[in-house]
Amino acid sequence: MTTFGFHASHEQIGPRALLEAVMHAERAGFDAAMCSDHFSPWSARQGESGFAWSWLGSALQATGLPFGVVNAPGQRYHPAIIAQAIGTLGAMYPGRFWAALGTGEASNEHITGDPWPRKDIRAARLRECVDVIRALLAGEEVSHDGLVRVDRARLWTRPEQPPALVGAAVSVATARWCAEWADGLITVNAPVAHLREMIDAYRDAGGEGPLHLQVHVSWAPDQAQAEAIAYDQWRSNVFAPPVCWDLETAEHFDVVSADVPAHRVAEVVNVSADLGRHVGWLEEYLELGFDQIALHHVGQEQRGFIDAFGAEVLPKLRPAG
C-alpha cells in the first residue's frame, strides 16, 4: 500500500515551525515524512534554510513517522560525515530513516569555495561517495584516494541494519544509472509519461527497492490564492537543468525568475483550490506504482493544507476498509 508523506521544506519554513508542521501532519493522518537539505533557499522570498541533520533528530524524536532526507555528499559534506550522520540516526531510530543521494546544486555547494564540477564529474564523485558510505555503514575501515579522499575512517556507532540509500533522479538517464547502486529511486512530479519512462528505465536496468515521488502542490480555499502562493514561492523553481544546477545564489534565481509567467509555475506545481482535482492527480501517480508519495505544499503556511488533505484527500486515496 502506498504511504503518503509530508515534505518539510527547510528553504521556506523555519525549523521550529517546520517541526510543529510535521507533528501536525502526523496527527492529521500522514504516514511518513521527508525533508530537503539546503544551505540556501531558492529565492529571497522563501527566506530560510535550517540545518536538516539537527532538525531530523528532533523530528524523529517528536513523531513516530519514518523520515527521509535528500542529500548531496562530496563537496559541502564529506561522505564519511554523512555516513556518520546516517549511521547515528539509523542506530537511534531503527527502520525509520533513509537517505536519498544526489549530485546537488551549486547554490548549496559553492560555499566551500571549491570549483563546481561538470555534471559527469559530479556523478562520478557521487558514485565514489556512495561506495564510501556503504563501506563505512558495513563496519569497514575506509581509505580512498579519488575525487573524494578518505583516510582510515571507521564508524564506531552503526545501526544493525544500514538505512536505505536511495537514488535521486529527474531524468531517464540518471534513473537508469541509479539502478547500479541505489536501494530505491526518488523523483519529483512530472508528466505521467515521463515518470513511467523513468520507472521503466530504473527497473529494466535492475533497479530494486521502493519508488518515492515528491509532489509539489499549491492549495488554498480560493483558486486565485492558490495560484498566488505558487507564483510567489515557487516561480524560481521552474528552470530545467542545467540552469537549476548551476545558479549560485538566491539573488540569481530571483533575477532570472522575475518575468516568469504564471503558466510556467503550473507546469511544475499542481495548483488548484479543488481538492478533488488533487485527488485525481495523485490517483494518476498511484497507478504508476509509487510506494511513497510525499506532498509538498509550496506555501509557507502549512496548517490549512495539512488539515484539508488529511481530511479530504488522503482518505480517498487509501483502500476502503
> 240: Cβ–Cβ under 8 A, 6 or more apart, which residues?
none
The torsion region of residue 178 among left (phi > 0), alpha (psi -120 to 50) and beta comes to: alpha
Length of the chain: 321
- CA torsion 35-153-136-96 (nearest 10°) is -30
Smallest CA-to-CA distance from 271 within 293, 290, 297 is with 297
Consecutive H or E run containing 277: helix 275-287
pLDDT computed for residue 301 by the predictor: 97
Q: Out of 7, 10, 38, 212, which one is annotated catalytic?
A: 38
pLDDT digits (tens, 9 = 90+) for 257-316: 999 999 999 999 999 999 999 999 999 999 999 999 999 999 999 999 999 999 999 999
User: pLDDT per position in the chain (321 positions), as tens?
Assistant: 899 999 999 999 999 999 999 999 999 999 999 999 999 999 999 999 999 999 999 999 999 999 999 999 999 999 999 999 999 999 999 999 999 999 999 999 999 999 999 999 999 999 999 999 999 999 999 999 999 999 999 999 999 999 999 999 999 999 999 999 999 999 999 999 999 999 999 999 999 999 999 999 999 999 999 999 999 999 999 998 999 999 999 999 999 999 999 999 999 999 999 999 999 999 999 999 999 999 999 999 999 999 999 999 999 999 875
Three-state DSSP state, 166: strand
C-alpha cell at 290: 509509487
Q: Out of 105, 109, 128, 227, which one is annotated catalytic?
A: 105
Does the annotation count 105 as an active-site position?
yes
Q: What is the CATH number of the domain that holds 168?
A: 3.20.20.30
Burial class, 283, CB count within 10 angstroms (exposed 0-12 / middle 13-18 / buried 19+): exposed
Does the annotation count 38 as an active-site position?
yes
β-pairing, 211-218 vs 292-297, is parallel
Residues 210/193, Cβ–Cβ less than 8 Å? no
- The pTM (predicted TM-score) of the whole model is 0.95
- How far, in Å, CA of 111 to CA of 261, rounded? 31
Q: Angle at CA 182, nearest 5°, toward 180 and 185?
A: 115
Expressed as residue numbers, the domain containing 136 is 3-317
pLDDT computed for residue 321 by the predictor: 59
Number of domains making up the chain: 1
